[in-house]
Structure 1
């Protein structure tokens, strides 16, 4: 491949065409682990190229001086990293390519060298050398100009992510675990930072921190820094965003490190921002444990199990409670996305220090999964009762690469302005998108600049409208009450009842001999009708007379009552020895009563007209407030934005059918002619 070819094709296609030289020696699934680190290496090399000779001169003149070269070389390169090798990809030579390349990489400063260690690059190079393709690949990449002046940061980020998507697709991995489309990234950052524009104006040079606990390749962090950088013309001294993050996957973490090595802060150009990007699982090993941030943003994997983190998360929940990150009950292990909601809440700067805001991209399940009292509902309850949910924006479907499901952006804040206190804004942006000319996997739509501005405008104006609803936090809450009905059953011995015993576990535990003995006894009493309590005394007296029957324990008597019990609405309610009404388990029901509505008034208006003997179980109480009924919260977007579509007129439907019939008849006539 030549430089001319680079001009005649897209850069990403040119880079990926290196796969042509790997065919036969490597599997598809291995291409990404070769091509991606070479792309990163060439990017770093291009950045250092202008200062290469100066660095070499400095090394020659000061190598025996005992001076700390690290500080001097960073100053000379203008970046927090450097390379002291005499080699480049173009000058490795064809005879000792691997040894020279290994030396080249070893001469990077430690913060850059770790990038290639995370790719296990040394083993990859050995395999490439053995296969005889290493020199060819090095020469291919040496022809590409990846300097930031030739390939801007945002373009480079798109290239990284395209390569990762291509690699992820090859191995059938969930690429969406670490891929957030640029349009979604941009929208989330605009929603997160736009409300503070006036704060930036009033405080020139203000320094703010931005944290992503699932940072992937660093898209959110880069876009956040770009947001304030693009506003430089508004300020005498531009604001500064300092990025922090953590990533689970070593390869994507390495890409993020490379991106952060190339970033500089105007107020501190020598600062190594890659040191702020940690490797590991955020849920079980928070590497920023004692830190708080002004802004937090995340797109955790949708519907991913958290069983690998379960032991540590459960320990923190038990030992620290609300002093830790996971105070409410925990969600089911099948989906850990709501744990990241709690994590972000814990990482926001304290209100006493100015507070913090967060944006998180989630699927629809965190809005409604879990019943009252369960982990998911308790997490929603905590967030809403703490009044930290500012807004939830429903996004269009088909905007992610590997899934077409509906997604939502939650905006959290512990410094709500007065007009937002106690309120949650719901924005329906499901129809606000541009169709893409060429789909990328499941991504067939994008949120364009016009749509982004409109969504941010609705959020900023905080006014009710067709696509924007302002709700009270309590609108999403309810009390789940347990509604009982009196037991009105009698015992009727029948063949149907004997057959039904086969479905009862207590009956299955009996031996065949015991089962046969009980069946014979019941057939002796066939068609006998008695009261509810008769069965207990009948069974206990029977085992006293016949040892073959075994024991008449509580489980067996319960099985008999279930099999032979017959409902009779004309009977008086069955009571226990203390005169208390026994409820009928088969008729037990639950009702969700909106918060603010008296549960007894609700029973009178919504239940008693249909079941006049129903009553509320006063022992079924909430663990937190002790009141009757368990509190739950759910956020049902469809309920708030549903628009009734009346059915079409029968005349119109009939006309369409006749038109189709005529068309079919015409086609058939052409065939038969």
Structure 2
């Protein structure tokens, strides 16, 4: 069927809402009636020719008490669904009394097979029936869908002379009509459309990104396509169509099977209904309801091609709790070891689970086929950089890049999607990189490639043209650098997060005022003998301060031994907390001293050679947490961490060292860093010229405003 014909049918169905539902439903709720009724009418039209055969088969099966009747009823209907009620919609059209119509219509719905029942339940269509009956519009709605000016049947409508009056509506055309209705309703409700509806231009681009680079490698056979956040199923069907086109162009015969999962009831129903209307009943069985994260419908399945637009910026806390929480999570998809890190985690913060969907796909890649798996997934900018080294988001990026799965990331124009104006990106991944791409990642900036829409659709004000999509795919396939395409080694996105420590420097204040305060504190803590001892110690030493905390403690311990005062940890902490203060001019506090020969001095690690009591030893200084800092050192840093530390840290803080036990590996990707173009600053001459020009324009203006002063 031609595009104008399908568009005309979609317009007619769209018009039913305004004709019948206006003032009964608010505009945003029209879809609650129109979408399920479109499904029902199409199924009804397809079942009309075999209605008698189904009823006869049902009677025979009941007569011999066969419980499982689905298979023979499917066979009798000739479809992937059936209806065993005695009614068709045309039978119900004649019902005059609204209550009889309600009872018969509900009986008609109850006669559908379980797959259709599930769709109706997820649409919550039965909830609409009392409202339509109460407002006396149910009959009108049915009558409108039976209008003879449109044909939702798979057979043509003939006139009295046997000539074709209305063409048949094949499954593909019906799917097109249904998708057009979905698109319009999503645009009407654009505040929520982005949650399950990806613009068609973006979907087409994603399909091309996963298929075109390997188009000449596709062989005749069966391929599995998966979307773990399938929404209304648009990505799956577009991907299937594109794969079939490319296979046909290369003279290959391929069979595709679609798999998906969706957690929103209505969008799940739309997806299954769309596949049924397209005649893909078996594929509809592969669309599962539930959360991909906490209730994976395909835990052991692997797929050839995967694409998705998962929710971003949306909490997955409920899923996390269902999975046992961070401490008890046992899901094999998210519990792995990597990089000899026993604490490696791939759990993102519960406020945003978009990268978790990516991990789910990567765990479903095929590893034993020539093509492996190819993935395209939409993300917002946070997936590029959110999460510090060692945290879930950074670890996922590390896992992906170090396994060399990331092929490219494409930056899309702002305002590409219906419900968000923020920057979005398509990640392209594969476990079968060609040799010339191994160990490398391509960044493509397509943020300025778009054509404006004549009318905004929500926040969407632009789209890709076919030429733009071809330019993007050509860059990916050719793998070349241009102003919009940059190629980097994998390590360019990794860094070591090092912890820079500086020594704690304490001076001890034994002034009369400070001792008096210390004694009061000791009294409260029940340590009056310690207070007396400190006072006597200060008097004997005749010192009001010590610039070396280690020397003070040594002398203090010696005197304590003489009077047999036991220095417990509590007493030492009390002395340090009350009498010692940080002083940048004091000597560093020694944490531990090692015998020479056992530990090698290394200032970079905080190990210094020192003479104590005439003996050479190697000491570790205690770190001052207030002076602790971190630095990010790129993995591609020439000379590594040591060269960076000597160049960027030691010249400014000579007493600093690195705590190697705290070093962590992180990964982040910055488009701004690689594609930002600073605005050229104006010269002073140009600015001066503009100022003089403005002065000339405003000359005498003040006089005109306030008038001449005598």
TM-aligned CA distance change 1:484 to 1:668, over 3 Å: same
1:139 Cα shift? 3.8
- Contact between 1:303 and 1:335, CA under 8 Å: does it hold in 2? yes
Partner of 1:179: 197
1:362 Cα shift? 0.6
Give secondary structure in 2 for the equivalent of 1:486: coil
**Equivalent of 1:307, from 302, 317, 332?**
317
TM-aligned CA distance change 1:669 to 1:561, over 3 Å: same
Partner of 1:467: 484
**Does 2:700 align with 1:645?**
no
Partner of 2:209: 191
Partner of 1:504: none
TM-aligned CA distance change 1:140 to 1:601, over 3 Å: same
Partner of 1:623: none
Give secondary structure in 1 for the equivalent of 2:95: coil
**Does 2:130 align with 1:129?**
no
Q: Deviations over 1:321-351 (max 9, x none)?
A: 7x53442511111111111111010112224
- Contact between 1:39 and 1:141, CA under 8 Å: does it hold in 2? no
Q: Deviations over 1:630-669 (max 9, x none)?
A: 1111111111212233212233344455666777889999
Q: Deviations over 1:404-442 (max 9, x none)?
A: 111111111111111111111111111111111111221
TM-aligned CA distance change 1:667 to 1:426, over 3 Å: farther
**Correspondences of 1:208-227 after superposition (within 5 Å):** 208-227=223-242
Partner of 1:17: 18
TM-aligned CA distance change 1:11 to 1:633, over 3 Å: farther
Partner of 1:583: 623
Partner of 1:281: 291
Which 10-residue stretch deviates more, 340-349 or 638-647?
Answer: 638-647
Which 10-residue stretch deviates more, 245-254 or 434-443?
Answer: 434-443
TM-aligned CA distance change 1:470 to 1:168, over 3 Å: closer
- Contact between 2:407 and 2:441, CA under 8 Å: does it hold in 1? yes
**Does 2:36 align with 1:40?**
yes
Q: Deviations over 1:360-384 (max 9, x none)?
A: 1011111111111111111111111
Partner of 2:164: none
Give secondary structure in 2 for the equivalent of 1:410: strand
**Equivalent of 1:324, from 333, 352, 355?**
333
TM-aligned CA distance change 1:119 to 1:612, over 3 Å: same
Partner of 1:80: 80
Q: Deviations over 1:563-597 (max 9, x none)?
A: x32222xx443323534222222222212112144
Partner of 2:599: none
**Does 2:663 align with 1:633?**
no
- Contact between 1:383 and 1:389, CA under 8 Å: does it hold in 2? yes
1:10 Cα shift? 4.6
Query: TM-score scaled by structure 2?
Result: 0.77
- Contact between 2:216 and 2:250, CA under 8 Å: does it hold in 1? no
- Quote the Cα distance in structure 2 between the aligned partners of 1:436 and 1:672: 50
- Quote the Cα distance in structure 2 between the aligned partners of 1:432 and 1:466: 13
Structure 1, unmatched stretches of 5+, are: 1-5, 266-270, 502-506, 621-628
- Quote the Cα distance in structure 2 between the aligned partners of 1:232 and 1:646: 49
Give secondary structure in 1 for the equivalent of 2:660: coil
Q: Deviations over 1:81-137 (max 9, x none)?
A: 233553317716341232222122222222112111112222321233234443344
Query: TM-score scaled by structure 1?
Result: 0.81
- Quote the Cα distance in structure 1 between the aligned partners of 2:176 and 2:222: 23
**Correspondences of 1:111-510 after superposition (within 5 Å):** 111-143=115-147, 145=150, 147=152, 148=169, 153-154=175-176, 156-164=178-186, 166-167=188-189, 169=191, 174-200=192-218, 203-204=219-220, 206-231=221-246, 234-236=249-251, 238-264=253-279, 272-313=282-323, 323-327=332-336, 328-329=344-345, 330-352=347-369, 354-492=371-509
Give secondary structure in 1 for the equivalent of 2:549: coil
- Contact between 2:505 and 2:582, CA under 8 Å: does it hold in 1? no
Partner of 1:592: 632
- Contact between 2:455 and 2:461, CA under 8 Å: does it hold in 1? yes
**Correspondences of 1:517-666 after superposition (within 5 Å):** 528-530=544-546, 531-532=548-549, 559-560=577-578, 564-568=581-585, 571-576=586-591, 578=593, 579-597=619-637, 598-620=640-662, 629-656=663-690
Give secondary structure in 1 for the equivalent of 2:583: strand
- Contact between 2:501 and 2:624, CA under 8 Å: does it hold in 1? yes
1:141 Cα shift? 4.3
Give secondary structure in 1 for the equivalent of 2:591: coil
1:463 Cα shift? 1.1
TM-aligned CA distance change 1:668 to 1:462, over 3 Å: farther
- Quote the Cα distance in structure 2 between the aligned partners of 1:647 and 1:523: 67
Give secondary structure in 1 for the equivalent of 2:681: coil
- Quote the Cα distance in structure 2 between the aligned partners of 1:252 and 1:208: 25
Which 10-residue stretch deviates more, 63-72 or 471-480?
Answer: 63-72
- Contact between 2:13 and 2:34, CA under 8 Å: does it hold in 1? no
TM-aligned CA distance change 1:207 to 1:9, over 3 Å: closer
1:60 Cα shift? 5.6
- Quote the Cα distance in structure 2 between the aligned partners of 1:496 and 1:335: 55
Structure 2, unmatched stretches of 5+, are: 1-6, 63-67, 153-168, 337-343, 594-618
Give secondary structure in 1 for the equivalent of 2:441: strand
Aligned residues: 623
Structure number with larger C-alpha Rg? 2
Q: Deviations over 1:272-296 (max 9, x none)?
A: 2110000001101101111110011
- Quote the Cα distance in structure 2 between the aligned partners of 1:47 and 1:453: 39
- Quote the Cα distance in structure 1 between the aligned partners of 2:575 and 2:186: 63
TM-aligned CA distance change 1:511 to 1:187, over 3 Å: farther
Q: Deviations over 1:2-32 (max 9, x none)?
A: xxxx979955752553685344xx667xx53
- Contact between 1:479 and 1:592, CA under 8 Å: does it hold in 2? yes
- Quote the Cα distance in structure 1 between the aligned partners of 2:180 and 2:556: 76
- Contact between 2:440 and 2:489, CA under 8 Å: does it hold in 1? yes
1:240 Cα shift? 2.7
- Quote the Cα distance in structure 2 between the aligned partners of 1:649 and 1:112: 71
TM-aligned CA distance change 1:493 to 1:49, over 3 Å: farther
RMSD, aligned CA = 4.3
- Contact between 2:308 and 2:377, CA under 8 Å: does it hold in 1? yes
TM-aligned CA distance change 1:655 to 1:11, over 3 Å: farther
- Contact between 1:231 and 1:238, CA under 8 Å: does it hold in 2? no
